[in-house]
Structure 1
Amino acid sequence: MKIPRLLLAPLAALALSLPAHAQELVVSAAASLTQAFQAVGKAYETAHPGQKVTFNFAASGALLSQLQQGAPVDVFASADQATMDRAAAAKVLAAGSRADFARNTLVAVLPAASAHKPQSLADLADPAFARIAAGTPASVPAGKYTADAVAHAGLADALQARWIFGESVRQVLNYVARGEVDAGFVYRTDALIEPDKVRIAFTVPTTAPVSYPIAQVAGSRNAAAGASFVAFVRGAQGQAILQRFGFSSP
């Protein structure tokens, strides 16, 4: 998938928008980390005066495509190991910098007003669930976890015509929150953001743990700051913030 140049332009312009005295650190992170990493970023800036953290949130696959096209990023945090494996194969990661920093769980969610009470993937085969949202499996880790879980449960054919795909896990969350679909698959941490609009129906058993890796980007102009941010995320203060947003330790 080729990312249009207009998506890279905002990243390239970040340095121009910062005060001359600030050291810029650009972090590309999975959409599911949005609120948690914004809080981590503020805490990091407080602990490191003179450093400014700017985030670029999107689906992990889209972020990797940007990195492969030379986006000026210092740190990359993915929502799955497979995307980080592809990043390593593409040689866009700084050697030896990759590390796991959090875990999550996949859940099935319903609009809060829904009267249905599914308790397993098999229950979603009911005709009442005519529209089911999930991330696009090729670029959204939550979507790939979902596709694997559905296939493992033997429901791929039964649900094939019902999928409404989103470009990120947060887009899927919005579909459910607005009642545009009958059910959807997001991370538990996403569902906690909209407690008045979505309801967790059940936890989805995934074929692999929902594990988040982070790494410095090869060629970063701020390697020292990147290493410092990765250490902060994995340290006591960063972990406490992540757990406050529902993530668990790696």
Structure 2
Amino acid sequence: MRARRFRTTLAALTVLAVLCLPGCGSGGETASPPPAGDGARITGDVTVFAAASLAESFTRLGRDFEAAHPGVRVSFSFAGSSALANQINQGAPADVFAAAAPANMKTVTDAGNGDGTPATFARNQLVIAVPEGNPGGLTGLADLTRPGVKVALCAEQVPCGAAARRVLTAAGVRVTPVTLERDVKAALSKLRLGEVDAALVYRTDVRAAGGDVDGVEFPESAGAAYEYPIVLLSDAPNVRAGRAFVDLVLSAAGLAVLTAAGFQAP
């Protein structure tokens, strides 16, 4: 009788433990991604092409995704959105594309390489990045034209370059940069290396750079805020996992990671 009672109690405890697995003892900082729409298990690798300015936040989301789907590996290719769009249209294998501007996304969808309508998941604005403490005393766009001030801009083909052109045109300021960089990280790197005195980069990149870089806000940036769209690619090697990653980015957990990095809600 005692052995039978022990086996019954053990079975009940086992059932309770299984039922508790998804939610008991949570309280960690990692938010769980939403489940796959069809409830099937996510397997395999996921390849995400994403704008350079998304590097820190998407890397965090990739870790969260892998934690929620054991055995799955998320690989990222971070670069300028225009370069990534060209790679996708030339047949580079990827599951998801996240761009820093609708124009670069349109390049991909117009070529028939997007699966469905892209969804906007975040917005971003430019700031003037300067060395810590702003030793040059820069306060606005007009200061970028001062004699001796070396400025780095992104090339106009990439979103940070197009945004810089828009704000400078709106402000009636003509800046002659000493360098045009392939993406926002490269422009910021020139500043951190001391090769320039200022760079027009995204607010999120200044935050990610830490204490050695400060950001000078300017009013014209509000008129050039860029929307970030994301889409599952039509030739995605891993459709199920790619769609689940897109769902994570669009979820409340994804927005929390993005806004913590300095992005604005869409």
Q: With structure 2 as the length reference, what TM-score do the two structures score?
A: 0.79
Asked if 1:188 corresponds to 2:185, the answer is no
Greater shift, 205-214 or 142-151, is seen at 205-214
The aligned amino acid for 2:204 is T
User: Following TM superposition, by how much is the alpha carbon of 1:111 offset from its aligned partner in structure 2, in angstroms?
Assistant: 1.8
User: Following TM superposition, by how much is the alpha carbon of 1:128 offset from its aligned partner in structure 2, in angstroms?
Assistant: 3.5
- Report how many residues are paired: 224
| Aligned mates of 1:152, 1:205 — CA distance in 2 | 7
| Aligned mates of 1:92, 1:180 — CA distance in 2 | 39
Contact 1:28/1:76 (8 A) holds in 2: yes
Asked if 1:135 corresponds to 2:154, the answer is yes
| Aligned mates of 1:26, 1:201 — CA distance in 2 | 35
Q: Provide the identity percentage.
A: 37
2:71 to 35, 43, 50: 50
| Aligned mates of 2:88, 2:82 — CA distance in 1 | 10
User: Following TM superposition, by how much is the alpha carbon of 1:203 offset from its aligned partner in structure 2, in angstroms?
Assistant: 3.4
Contact 1:29/1:55 (8 A) holds in 2: yes
| Aligned mates of 2:115, 2:69 — CA distance in 1 | 22
- 3-state DSSP of counterpart to 1:44: helix
Instruction: Tell me what 1:118 maps to.
Output: 138
The aligned amino acid for 1:174 is S
Q: CA RMSD in A?
A: 1.7
Moved over 6 A (4+): none
Please show how residues 24-39 of structure 1 align to structure 2 within 5 Å. 24-39=45-60
Task: Give deviations 1:10-34, integer Å, cap 9, x for gaps.
Answer: xxxxxxxxxxx95011000001111
User: Following TM superposition, by how much is the alpha carbon of 1:113 offset from its aligned partner in structure 2, in angstroms?
Assistant: 5.6
Where do 5+ consecutive residues of structure 2 fail to align? Answer: 1-41
| Aligned mates of 1:22, 1:50 — CA distance in 2 | 7
| Aligned mates of 1:111, 1:177 — CA distance in 2 | 7
Asked if 1:214 corresponds to 2:230, the answer is yes
The aligned amino acid for 1:201 is V
- 3-state DSSP of counterpart to 2:114: coil
Contact 1:189/1:247 (8 A) holds in 2: yes
Q: With structure 1 as the length reference, what TM-score do the two structures score?
A: 0.84
- 3-state DSSP of counterpart to 1:26: strand
Task: Give deviations 1:31-70, integer Å, cap 9, x for gaps.
Answer: 1111110100010111122321111111101101110110
| Aligned mates of 1:184, 1:164 — CA distance in 2 | 10
- 3-state DSSP of counterpart to 2:128: strand
User: Following TM superposition, by how much is the alpha carbon of 1:114 offset from its aligned partner in structure 2, in angstroms?
Assistant: 4.5
User: Following TM superposition, by how much is the alpha carbon of 1:209 offset from its aligned partner in structure 2, in angstroms?
Assistant: 2.3
- Closer/same/farther in 2, CA of residues 204 and 48 from structure 1, 3 Å limit: farther
Instruction: Tell me what 2:62 maps to.
Output: 41
Where do 5+ consecutive residues of structure 1 fail to align? Answer: 1-20
